[in-house]
């Protein structure tokens, strides 16, 4: 498999020219830098994003922590936090690649059935993912007021990726709903 750089070189060589698609390659690097920044925003704040979402979910739905609730017992709470972490990690892979196939195949495939079999409440799980989405989008736009970050690209350059990121969270909600 050839990467975008190798392909440009092969194309130029086959017509005996210098590499001409430099603007295209610059765009490719700039897009890659934005993706790295976006993933960095998410990964550096992952534990904050996950714990805030699970806490918010619990506050909105108190029965969850009561006997019989979805996160009653520390074992279930730990599994829930871990699931939030897993989902966020697979979304970060999708953001990096610009492609959701790894997220779909390795994380979401069968998750709805797993949750149904275990009695994990899907509506609450979807709500936690929704809170993670709001937080992740704020981080990608670098508008999280308490946590401004220094980035490779110009400030605001990742905004174009925010809707793509939001779409991956929506895909998770759709898969488990």
Q: Which residues bind ligand CYC (CB under 6 A)?
A: 54, 64, 70-71, 76, 79-80, 83-84, 86, 106-107, 111, 114, 118, 120-121, 124-125, 128
How far from the centroid of its chain's Cα atoms is residue 152's Cα? Answer: 19
C-alpha to C-alpha distance for 81 and 115, rounded to whole angstroms: 14
- Residue of 50, 43, 41, 45 lying closest to 157 (CA atoms): 41
Residue whose CB is less far from ligand CYC, 37 or 83: 83
For ligand CYC, give the closer residue by CB, 32 or 56. 56
Q: How far is the CB of 136 from ligand CYC (least distance, A)?
A: 15
Query: Measured from the CB of residue 91, what is the shortest distance to ligand CYC in angstroms?
Result: 12
Which lies closer to ligand CYC via its Cβ, residue 13 or residue 113? 113
Please state, in angstroms and rounded to a whole number, the distance separating the CA atoms of residues 118 and 139. Answer: 32
CB of 141 to ligand CYC, least distance (A): 24
CB contact set of 114 (below 8 Å; sequence gap of 6+): 120
Nearest residue (CB) to ligand CYC, 25 versus 79? 79
Closest residue by Cα to residue 33 from 163, 149, 170, 158 = 158
Residue 119 CA to residue 98 CA, distance in Å, equals 33
Residue of minimal Cβ distance to ligand CYC: 70
**The pair of three-digit structure tokens given for residue 122, joined into one six-digit string:** 């899907």
Residue 133 Cβ vs ligand CYC, minimum distance, rounded to whole Å: 13
Considering the complex, state which of residue 36 and residue 43 has its C-beta at the smaller distance from ligand CYC. 43
């Amino acid at each position: 498999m050839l990467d975008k750089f190798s392909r440009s070189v092969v194309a130029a060589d086959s017509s005996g020219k210098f590499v001409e698609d430099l603007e295209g390659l610059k765009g490719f690097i700039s897009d890659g830098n934005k993706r790295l920044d976006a993933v960095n925003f998410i990964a550096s704040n992952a534990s904050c994003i996950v714990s805030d979402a699970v806490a918010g979910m619990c506050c909105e739905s108190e029965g969850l922590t009561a006997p019989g609730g979805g996160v009653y017992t520390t074992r279930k709470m730990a599994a829930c936090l871990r699931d939030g972490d897993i989902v966020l990690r697979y979304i970060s892979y999708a953001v990096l690649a610009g492609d959701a196939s790894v997220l779909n195949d390795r994380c979401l495939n069968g998750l709805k059935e797993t949750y149904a079999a275990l009695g994990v409440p899907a509506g609450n799980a979807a709500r936690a993912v929704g809170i993670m989405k709001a937080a992740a989008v704020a981080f990608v736009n670098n508008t999280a007021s308490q946590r401004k970050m220094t980035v490779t690209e110009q400030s605001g350059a990742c905004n174009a990726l925010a809707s793509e990121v939001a779409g991956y969270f929506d895909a998770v909600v759709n898969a488990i709903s």
